[in-house]
Structure 1
Amino acid sequence: MLQARLFDTLLIAKGPSLVNTFTLASPYIILANYVQLDWAESFGVKMYIVSGSVGREDTDVLIKVFARMLKVADG
């Protein structure tokens, strides 16, 4: 599944943001509606939406991390 591969390619910490100083990513629909996935998707919330919070890492490093993920997405 492309979504899982992209998420795995994103080399940052995974989990919900709880006012951290480091960058985190999490699959939005899983956190918000895990027991109601079909219901959430019926409103247009797609499984592949990734929620992120940017931390205090070096900007160039973060750009490279996200660019790598986008390169995988582009094929």
Structure 2
Amino acid sequence: MVPAWKLGTGRPWTRRLTTVTQLLSVVFGVFSWTSSPMFHAVIPVVAVVQIVLVALLWVPRPAREFFG
């Protein structure tokens, strides 16, 4: 939650921190998916959203310029 508040500052470390936390969350989501069938429908959806978020932080030119 803290990285989301700090993203507006445009500092490069906030983009890197957000990227790392989101990708780690995807990895840990895989472990959660394999250990419990309760969230099998939710975890893939959340993982896709997190990967899209990371792509939006790095791919568009305006995002790169904002954090540059």
Which TM-score bucket, shorter chain as reference? 0.3 to 0.5
1 or 2, which has the higher strand percentage?
1
- The alignment's TM-score, normalised by the length of structure 2, stands at 0.37
1 or 2, which has the higher helix percentage?
2
- The alignment's TM-score, normalised by the length of structure 1, stands at 0.34
